[in-house]
Chains A and B, each alone.
Chain A
Amino acid sequence: MNEWQMIISAAAIIVAALSYKLPHAVMWIALGAANAVACDVFYAYGLNYPAAFTLACDCLVCLCINWFATEKWESGLFAVFQVSALISILRLSGILAEEGDYLLLLELCNYAALALIGGTAILGGAGDRLLRRRWRSYVLWAYHYLRAPPAKAHWWKADQ
């Protein structure tokens, strides 16, 4: 395990500890971690087309989030994994030629996902007890916005 993997593992554990009360949060962190581990193992074995494997894993995570999401912050998480999949497509198509850039962008996506989950959890906690009265209403507004159901219904529940 290199230093980057250790840092993101520690970040994931901290975010999971912060957001254990948020529904689905620990599940998405575990799924994202499984995704990262599978992609790292694939890459470490030196198999062909690691970007294609990463793309397949990201698509799987996206489909899972799309299927189980019940709140707006989960729609944001879906968008983050869409960007991650897009980065893999750019790598496969050769537009993103440098491997270092590709890995850096994927890492940034992982941190964005963790920031979204942790941020939602922190907003809830902060709105409850940490801040002064004037800021509390803004924090609680943001928290309730993120915890609201998504704007569009799930497509498999709509007939027409």
Chain B
Amino acid sequence: MIPESILIKLGGAISGTILALVFLPPKTRVGFFRRTSASMICGPIFAPVTHAYLGWPNAWEHWLAAVALTSFISWWCMGAVIGGARKLLGDKAEE
């Protein structure tokens, strides 16, 4: 039996990544893999910070939403960081 916390983290990370793919589609295949890995890893890791910052109740729905939101933000941040670094270096390739 898989523990509930693992299921929530996995479900939240996948939901956040799919939402990000719908609302912020990547420009390239490499960008997709880079953003997906950042989203799937950083979502579960930093979810407690988001959950505490927003002051949500300690229910599984809110934890799922926190993981999904963190995954979504991680996806955006990865694109912004790589895109910003490329702009600074004068590289015209898109993320």
A residues adjacent to B (C-beta < 8 A): 59, 62-63, 66, 82, 85-86, 89, 92, 152, 155-160
Contacts and interface: CB of A to CB of B under 8 A. Distances in A.
Tell me what chain B mostly uses at the interface: helix, strand, loop, or mixed: helix
Interface in B1-54: 18-19, 21-23, 25-32
A160 B30 contact: yes
Nearest to A160: B93
B51 to A, nearest CB: 14
A152 B30 contact: no
Contact of B28 (A62, A66, A158): A158
A62 B21 CA distance: 9
Interface of B: 18-19, 21-23, 25-32, 65, 93-94
A109 to B, nearest CB: 14
B65 to A, nearest CB: 8
A160 B25 CA distance: 15
A62 B22 contact: yes
Contacts of A160: 28, 30, 93
Contacts of B22: 59, 62-63, 66, 82, 85
Contact of B27 (A66, A89, A158): A158
B28 A63 contact: no
Greatest chain B CB density within 10 A among A82, A157, A158 is at A158
A159 B29 contact: yes
Contacts of A92: 65
